[in-house]
Amino acid sequence: MILTVASGKGGTGKTTVATSLALAIADISPVLLDCDVEAPNAHIFLQPQFDQRREIGLPIPEVDEVRCTGCGRCAEVCQYHAIVVMGGKVLVFPELCHGCGSCTLQCPEGAITEVANLLGVLEAGPAKDGIHFAQGVLNVGEPMAVPVIRELKQWHPFPEGHTIIRDAPPGNSCPVVETIQGSDFVLLVTEPTPFGLHDLRLAIQLTQELDIPAGVLINRDGIGDDGVEEYCRKSGIPILMRIPLDQRIGKAVARGEALVEAFPEYLPQFRELYAQIQSLIDSRLEDALPQAMGPRPSDGAKAGRL
């Protein structure tokens, strides 16, 4: 099972939930992937001993000035405007380059070769209680998070077959889409405020667009208003767990303690949360089986989405 913990709004408690969930199901040795490569912090709570490391780079163009005639074809084909030709001289802007290779392919003189532009690193190793831990770390100032997340997802420094928990970055942009893609379920952590609701709606739209089932965890329950609750009821998104606003939790997390370590009374709730998610995934699979053999007559309208 691949479960992504995302949120829309930042600071709602994604990492608090992801790390506590991992600790709660530590008996099955889950994998925790910290995909918030711009500011990974799950390691603070799970204290991995990194013993594996991989550098991630994008292939960027390097121009052989002797062969280059300054024709400008590379600049014409670059969709990202990462390469310009000024007065016969080629200029490459590595931070704009997506590494697509078009310039290299299209250069009529074969004057372009690709060199690696280092974006960041992947690190992995055993963490607390037998949890397998891996994270991506994007180099400071580097704008392109997606390639690092993509590589982190594909990296398999652990034995296969374990449940994977992905801790997503905040927001609803490309890095979040990349993190969510390929998941079996998305757990959206929100807070019951107008800000939380605004971003939660965008996150739910995203999961619907990607056709991945989602559920909500309300953190800091008791503050704000009923907006989130009402929205979830109307749109049929299950609320799977609630964590009340509790200053003691905030203080423990600020000290670097995982929620379930500071307050073990939450362990059964997180285990129940995991069981619920598992049964939601299972029931969806069962639902999908007859449809895979052809739409049921009563399901005509829904079948259109397939």
Q: How near is the Cβ of 171 to other proteins at its closest, in Å? A: 5
Question: By C-beta, is 48 or 169 nearer to other proteins?
Answer: 169
Q: How near is the Cβ of 145 to other proteins at its closest, in Å? A: 9
Question: By C-beta, is 142 or 184 nearer to other proteins?
Answer: 142
Q: Strands 83-86 and 239-244, how do they pair?
A: unpaired
Alpha carbons 173 and 36: distance in angstroms, whole number: 12
Question: By C-beta, is 105 or 174 nearer to other proteins?
Answer: 174
CA distances from 17 to 9, 38, 68, 236 (A): 14, 19, 54, 22
Q: How near is the Cβ of 38 to other proteins at its closest, in Å? A: 6
Q: How near is the Cβ of 52 to other proteins at its closest, in Å? A: 28
Question: By C-beta, is 30 or 136 nearer to other proteins?
Answer: 136
78, with CB counted inside 10 A (0-12, 13-18, 19+), is buried
133, with CB counted inside 10 A (0-12, 13-18, 19+), is buried
Question: By C-beta, is 8 or 215 nearer to other proteins?
Answer: 8
* SS3 of residue 261 by DSSP: helix
Question: By C-beta, is 171 or 238 nearer to other proteins?
Answer: 171
Alpha carbons 284 and 4: distance in angstroms, whole number: 17
Question: By C-beta, is 157 or 171 nearer to other proteins?
Answer: 171
Helix (H) or strand (E) holding 18: helix 14-24
Q: How near is the Cβ of 143 to other proteins at its closest, in Å? A: 5
Alpha carbons 74 and 235: distance in angstroms, whole number: 48
Q: Which residues bind other proteins (CB under 8 A)?
A: 9-11, 38-39, 75, 78-87, 89, 91, 93, 95-96, 143, 169-175, 199
Task: Specify whether the CB–CB gap between 9 and 170 falls below 8 A.
Answer: yes
Roughly how many angstroms between the first and final C-alpha of the chain, as a whole number?
22
Q: How near is the Cβ of 173 to other proteins at its closest, in Å? A: 3
Q: How near is the Cβ of 53 to other proteins at its closest, in Å? A: 25
